[in-house]
Structure 1
């Protein structure tokens, strides 16, 4: 029985060896793509009835190979009818009338080195440039996707082994004119065009393919004002325009107001309407000057801001005459004139819990409420951000005005409750928020908090990650009371008329109104007996910042210690941005009744 088993074992081994050597003699076929689907060139060749002319272009330009090889591409594939129309529009009779380089350029303009499905289309440029080095623009008209406002996509999102194909009914051609040439050739812009030439910006906006230009100047955006817009201001020609705006009578001088006016209408980088809406801020060629943007009731508005509590009407972009594609960027037209806004520095008193981003994230105003942000795993609005992003959510607990007498006092009756950690994976490590508009200049930054003995210590950074990033020197230790942090005793705070100066010398101040402060509406400040000296409402000087550009900026609060108790955090009430050379750093002071301010006793 044992011998019988050994025989079968020997036969089995011999069979395996025979099969092995037979396979070794056969050719090994390696997969050359990552999918069994045909690649882009293969797809076109399988549909020659639609694409034979474009296939011919591919082979004559020697570009069929890379569209048939491994990679990630998006091809906007023109049909035979589209190619025939393009041939005739160029005064040619066949593809053979074009040079190899001309055909190669046209192919490159139809290919994006990325897989871009229609779900990634917006009313603006495709985020990746074409192989030609310029951007395509997409929008929707009559429920149909268009490319460069000329070609309609008739069949979309065709998946191939190396990318995506969109079928289009017209050839795409790179824009022939630069921004300078488009403006100069339009009689509606004669005054603006002449101003471009007189200030030297015509050369900035002129581009000829083949010219070598710095990367940051390859694409530009211009917001042009038509003759009719300028004539509405009584400016009928360039002479009148220069007379009104050129205070040095030297438009080529960067200090001349006409030079600055024109520079303020030009932005580095090609910005389509969608980009403008999303950016919220456009940095212009006028040094340190920005254009604010907003989208409201289907209107794209420039410089419509609320500054110092007053709405400043802005200028609306003419959408039907915007998103004009040039060889070096994008042109937009404004319905109204706009210019650099000259503003003086003013104190800005920022009630954090009523910030626009927080109100938007919560879906409404939260006056007279405690707004708690607790780590539970959901992100909130972009400009009102926790870090890490995946550990924040919102909960609210009502703190009605009638309850304030039984609770700690907060300005306008609301505050922001944060639980920050330095190490916990379940709690945010830092918190970032957009400031209100700050006019360029130097400001003292006062972080106003309500003392919480169990809260984390904070480090504050202005514009983190940007060239003008500034780390403020003073820590905000929210477990400290006004007297405990400053070293000024409760008795001195209550009885010494010089106590404000003593506090200021230590980098502290009262910000919440106390008994005896003056209110023009006759409201008497009343606090709980233990809060009569205002020691629980602490204004801490985090440091002085240099604001280089009039804009909304960013503050980030980093936890540099663990909360002293697991469930207790940081209770932020306000942030005061007060010009550094302003001697008045104490008043006005604030109250739980919204909008009520208190001043020095009369």
Structure 2
């Protein structure tokens, strides 16, 4: 947003240019250019500020550099609107870049292009809004071109020098040239729009012949060749498996694939396992690698089934998860063979065979104080306490200050699972406490669950079981849906039998611990719609304190025993 405002401010200067002196304008433009350069130290780029009124006139002003692309705009009939007021981004190939493109087309001059050819070339280079290099990223640019396709940005390295690249076809050699109706970026080659649909792209590669046949037999081939004029419906993402990858899984032909997975004999049935295999490799929407790693999960063509995603160093992994305490190794996406743009989506390549896993609802005993960031600190994990600053725990966020990992065989953790817990300060109207915290759960299989929060009750001030002192009432929600019963971290369980406590929404979750302050509170029932990691939020609604000691959060299927297993300080689960 900042880069857009910077550019927009300069546009306003252009609009009133006739009302101010030319020298003052140049001075102000230089100031803005200097400020911008200060913010771009990672990649060396060349920036220019110009007093030209519009894009087309700028190109014609430098015929030795840009006359060929100006001729393309003439042939396309776009010179007039690019000579008028507006807000555009245009990627301008040099004369050498245009001539190389024309040579590939067996033409010697841009005048030899047909009107439609010229329009296609022009439209892939123009975006109907302003983008500076601050908006470029690894993956698709945030706005679509006039051609109706996204451009793929990246960073390329040549002779030790880094530069922005587009569509793996061209490098940006001069950038952020501000003119009266937008921003120009100079590139060394002419961009070429994708011409093949997803179906055609996959079929054109003989390494994907088995997967291509599976697409045809299941009917997805036909849908993946449609270029819908409605952009909200056009895009799909396909994760292919090559013949070699399938061969490594013992699948040497389509017949072998069908024999292994088609349980009905009719792969076109949505319930057929081969149909489900293919559907699991298709994601709605356009998702380049940068988009895939930016979210923890993605819906597939199988209703309410997702693939999970993560970035491990530079490796993009799918379905690499810890489920019920067991690590399930994921599959890698091949960076070199992925991010292939088509007319209706993007194509990726998997390095291993994968299928959908249909699971039954399974209890999740989420040890909140056990997460990768604390495990990377062996001097602290289950040895001593540690305070985590904001943004230091992946997929967690809170409003301010720190949350604390607490460990010890005495004190508040003397009666917690593994003798540790997470201490979360929450409250209202206190500058030292967050109002809320959000956390990503472990993988939860879709289904209905009762949600329990197991904690060690404590009052920061006052005595448990007595009136007065600190109180903190917290509302817990899952995926934005509040659970019906708040939890008060300063309340301990009442006395009674296990059955009596359960009927009141309480339980004693530790084995052979009778202290009422080591308790579990039933928050309500949640319907998990997709097998995925989900967002759990704790929101303070009354009072506040620092000593909210969270031990476990349990998701137990509604038709299962809610009182077992129990847990020990040494880390055992007792049936």
TM-score, structure 2 length as denominator? Answer: 0.83
Aligned partner of 1:37 in structure 2 is 51
1: CA distance, partners of 2:89 / 2:134: 13
Conserved? CA contact 2:71–2:111, under 8 Å:
no
The 5 Å alignment of 1:177-576 reads 177-208=196-227, 211-213=228-230, 215-356=231-372, 366-367=381-382, 369=384, 379-381=391-393, 383-386=395-398, 391-394=399-402, 396=404, 399-401=407-409, 404=410, 409-423=415-429, 427-453=433-459, 454-464=470-480, 470-483=481-494, 489=495, 492=496, 499-515=497-513, 533-563=514-544, 567-576=545-554
TM superposition shift of 1:537 = 1.4
> What is the rounded CA distance, in whole Å, between the counterparts of 1:77 and 1:192 in structure 2?
38
2:194 pairs, out of 175, 200, 206, with 175
Going from structure 1 to structure 2, the CA distance change for 1:410 and 1:86 (only over 3 Å counts) comes to same
Secondary structure of the residue aligned to 1:91 is coil
CA distance in 2, matches of 1:579, 1:410: 23
The aligned counterpart of 1:148 is 167
Aligned to 2:46: none
What do the CA deviations read for 1:432-479 (whole angstroms, capped 9, x no partner)?
A: 111111111111110112213424211221111xxxxx3211121222
1:580 alignment counterpart: 558
CA distance in 1, matches of 2:442, 2:151: 35
- 1:597 aligns with 573
Instruction: State the superposition RMSD in angstroms.
Output: 2.8
* Structure 2 gap segments, 5+ residues each: 1-16, 30-49, 460-469
Per the alignment, do residues 415 and 204 of structure 1 end up closer, same or farther by CA in structure 2, a change over 3 Å counting?
A: same
Q: Distance in 1 between matches of 2:248 and 2:369?
A: 42
Relative to structure 1, the CA distance from residue 407 to residue 148 in structure 2 (aligned partners, 3 Å threshold; closer, same or farther) is closer
Contact persistence 1:77–1:168 (CA under 8 A): yes
Cα distance in 2, alignment partners of residues 30 and 298 from structure 1: 52
Kindly state the Cα deviation for residue 82 of structure 1 after the two structures are TM-superposed.
1.5
| Corresponding residue SS for 1:293 | strand
**Structure 1 residues 311 and 75, CA, compared in 2 at 3 Å: closer, same or farther?**
same
What is the deviation of 1:366? Answer: 4.0
SS in 2 for 1:354: coil
Q: Deviations over 1:271-308 (max 9, x none)?
A: 11222222221211011111112222432222122211
Aligned to 2:33: none
* Structure with the greater alpha carbon radius of gyration: 1
> Partner residue of 1:49?
64
Counterpart of 1:157 in structure 2 is 176
Gaps of 5+ in 1: 1-27, 465-469, 484-488, 493-498, 516-532
Paired residues of 1:126 and 1:136 also in contact (CA < 8 A): yes
- Conserved 8 A contact 1:456-1:569: no
Separation (CA, whole Å) in 2 of partners of 1:221 and 1:406: 50
Q: Distance in 1 between matches of 2:87 and 2:379?
A: 44
What are the Cα deviations for residues 107-156 of structure 1, in whole angstroms up to 9, with x where unaligned?
22112234433344333111211122210012233333321111122223
Distance change >3 Å, CA 182–CA 46, structure 1 → 2: same
Cα distance in 2 between the residues matched to 1:400 and 1:144: 52
> Following TM superposition, by how much is the alpha carbon of 1:418 offset from its aligned partner in structure 2, in angstroms?
2.4
Using the TM superposition, name which of 351-360 and 228-237 deviates more: 351-360
Instruction: Return closer, same or farther for 1:91/1:310 CA change in 2, 3 Å cut-off.
Output: same
State the distance in 2 between where 1:114 and 1:363 align.
Answer: 50
SS of structure 2 residue aligned to 1:222: strand
Q: In the superposition, relative to structure 1, how do residues 160 and 569 fare at CA in structure 2: closer, same or farther (>3 Å)? A: farther
- Range with greater deviation from structure 2 (137-146 or 307-316): 137-146
- Structure 1 residues 145 and 339, CA gap change in structure 2 (3 angstroms): same
SS in 1 for 2:502: helix
Task: Confirm or deny: 8 A CA contact 1:445 1:541 kept in the other structure.
Answer: yes
How far does residue 45 in structure 1 lie from its aligned partner after superposition?
Answer: 3.0
Asked if the contact 1:317/1:335 (under 8 Å) is kept, the reply is: yes
TM-score by length of 1: 0.79
